[in-house]
Amino acid sequence: MSLIYVLDILGTFAFAISGALVASDKKFDLFGVLIIAFVTAVGGGMLRDVLINAHPINWIGDLNYLFVIFAAVVFTFLFKSKIAHLSKTMFLFDTVGISVFTLLGLEKGLSYDLHPIIALIMGMISAVFGGVLRDVLTNKIPLIFQKEIYASACLAGGISYLVLSYVHMPENIIFIISAAIIIIIRVVAVKFELELPKIKDDLFTKS
Amino acid sequence: MSLIYVLDILGTFAFAISGALVASDKKFDLFGVLIIAFVTAVGGGMLRDVLINAHPINWIGDLNYLFVIFAAVVFTFLFKSKIAHLSKTMFLFDTVGISVFTLLGLEKGLSYDLHPIIALIMGMISAVFGGVLRDVLTNKIPLIFQKEIYASACLAGGISYLVLSYVHMPENIIFIISAAIIIIIRVVAVKFELELPKIKDDLFTKS
Amino acid sequence: MSLIYVLDILGTFAFAISGALVASDKKFDLFGVLIIAFVTAVGGGMLRDVLINAHPINWIGDLNYLFVIFAAVVFTFLFKSKIAHLSKTMFLFDTVGISVFTLLGLEKGLSYDLHPIIALIMGMISAVFGGVLRDVLTNKIPLIFQKEIYASACLAGGISYLVLSYVHMPENIIFIISAAIIIIIRVVAVKFELELPKIKDDLFTKS
């Protein structure tokens, strides 16, 4: 079992908990909580695999995802009030998860002979779409469209991965550097509350 | 034409009417009503088939689904005020539909050599996801995440099917027993207003 | 590069701008605007290709879609206040786009040996579903379910295409006539504010 697989599982666990927390805040029942935890954790990889025709798709091909999600829901059920005190740990898991999801998704895209730009988008879909699905199913406008900068962090890490691949560095080193870029950008962005620009009505007249 | 196929069609009819009623309450036009009836009736099987790569997917491989949905919309258009008096009949059709959708979805999963747990999930997706899509498209939080117990009924029936399969009972008997379990649980749950537990903030401190 | 391809690209550009405008009205950041422009422009063809198992799907098989969408977002970013004055031009592009999307989707369905009715639905999905996805992701009830008559225009144009194909007219002529039907119906419908009927509670008692 490789380190990257362990990080993938940790990220899945963190994503599932984030989904379970949102769902329980919305007063969903146990089944609803399970579904939201599930789509949050594996929704991104699932969409990627359907789009690139990679069957069996992620959670069908590896049952461990289901077990981890189930464990995350049980964990949330038992320790909900404690998790609030673990928010920094959760944020770390979540951020590691995002970085691993992005790079594994990108690698999967490349392994299917997709154009690097398409593979990059597949990496971002893997990292981002689970949260989008979670928000759509809980009837909210996806957070990531408005404030979260983490798509940009994924983009930067993905580009780093592609660029470093051209200079023939060892794959492990490329993975670690690119994951570090994603993690650092996200941590810095959250710490300093950085946001992406928005389209303003008067941008043209100002410039 | 087997009995199960007839029940599948009846269930599709009932699901389509339930979608058409929701859409007409939202003042959708005829096209909108058709779409919502359509996704409610075949959305679950459609998602299942896309996820397990079963092409042609349900309504592409069998035009009868479209004809039944169309008939259901015409029926709703003509008799909307009468359908209110048929709510018990509709509930019966709907419940039979859920049980058949669950077991047919489960069987399809097994026929694609999926792990029994995955096949079980495919059965539940077949039964549940049409209603989820209906609610997302009409901008509501899916009902099933909050109150409806029928996912649990589907789960119980699906597990029954898998367990009975191990003891080599005739397939028809297995199907009937499992469908009966789903129908009975749902009827009892609705009659006694049973709900699944929710995650409470203080669960841990209480226990 | 055929004329139809140029129209397809123009339509994609118009759809992407319509998505970008909606997203910027919702105060989405640059990433959110890109995503909404993307799903509005290629969401319909993407769903069609997933449903009929046509891989690589539209934007994976032809990178030009991505470039056009990116250009449309930059264009919207720079000229948002000017686009308001171009609403007639935009409406024209959009309407041409709808007609081309419908007929190309229909042709693709036929080329995959689908039943004409299924191919017709694929044409409509191609034209309509991008806007539905845009509305779902911005947490609105899809416009097309309530007021827009353009699905009916697509249906009429698609039926025209199928009927004319039976009389062995040259394909270009069929395409042009059917596209014209879609464009004319939509323009007339918008001009005269035509709407589809809705299901009324008392339809049966009245008739």
Q: Is residue C205 part of a domain?
A: no
Q: How many CB atoms lie within 10 A of CB C196?
A: 18
Q: Say what the pLDDT of residue B190 is.
A: 81
Q: How many domains does chain B have?
A: 1
pLDDT at B167: 86
| Residue % of chain C over a pLDDT of 90 | 52
Q: Enumerate residues 6+ apart whose C-beta is below 8 A from C171.
A: none
Task: Specify the pLDDT at position A22.
Answer: 86
Q: State the nearest Cα–Cα gap between A99 and chain B, in angstroms.
A: 25
For residue B13 the two structure tokens come to 């009819």
* Average pLDDT value for residue range A4-30: 88
For residue B95, what are its two tokens? 């419940």
Q: Does position C27 have pLDDT exceeding 50, yes or no?
A: yes
Q: Which residues of A touch B (CB under 8 A)?
A: 20, 23-24, 26-33, 35-36, 46, 50, 53, 55-57, 60, 63, 66, 76-82, 136-139
B: neighbours with 3+ CB pairs under 8 Å? A, C
Q: What is the predicted pLDDT for the residue at C207?
A: 36
Q: Which of C112, C144, C145, C149 to mutate to test the interface with B (most CBs of B within 10 A)?
A: C145
Quick one: CA torsion of A151, A156, A161, A166, rounded to 10 degrees? 140
Q: Which pLDDT band holds residue C148 (cuts at 50, 70, 90)? A: low
Closest among C148, C147, C152 to C123, alpha carbons compared: C152
For C205, the closest of B33, B36, B81 (CB atoms) is B81
- Among A25-34, C64-73, C196-205, which is the least confidently predicted range? C196-205
Q: Mean pLDDT across the stretch B65-78?
A: 94
Neighbouring chains to A with at least 3 Cβ pairs closer than 8 Å: B, C
Of A5-14, A165-174, B171-180, B189-198, the poorest mean pLDDT is in B189-198
**ipTM of the prediction:** 0.88
Residue B202 domain-assigned (yes or no):
no
- Name the residue range of residue A177's domain: 3-193
> What whole-number distance in Å separates Cα of residue A76 and Cα of residue A89?
14
Task: Tell me which chain C residue has its CA closest to the CA of residue A118.
Answer: C60
Give me the pLDDT at residue C1, please: 59
Search chain B and give the residue with CA nearest C121. B60
A47-58 tens-digit pLDDT = 999 999 999 999
Chain-chain contact of A63 with B118 (C-beta, under 8 angstroms): yes
pLDDT at C99: 92
Which ranges in chain A belong to alpha helices (H)?
3-25, 30-51, 58-61, 64-83, 87-111, 116-137, 150-166, 171-192, 203-206
In the prediction, which pLDDT does C200 show? 60
Question: Residue A186: inside a domain, yes or no?
Answer: yes
Instruction: Answer yes or no: is C143 within a domain.
Output: yes
Mean pLDDT calculated for residue range C129-147: 84
Is C71 a member of any domain?
yes
pLDDT at B203 over 60: no
Q: Phi and psi (nearest 5°) for C29? A: -80, 180
Domain membership flag for residue C203? no
Tokens of B88: 């018990």
Q: Answer yes or no: is A207 within a domain.
A: no
Query: Is the predicted pLDDT of residue C22 greater than 50, yes or no?
Result: yes
Q: Over 60: is that where the pLDDT of A201 sits?
A: no
Is residue C70 domain-resident? yes
Distance between CA atoms of residues A137 and A203, nearest Å: 34
Nearest alpha carbon to residue B104 among B138, B55, B50, B58: B58
Q: Do C31 and A203 touch (CB under 8 A)?
A: no
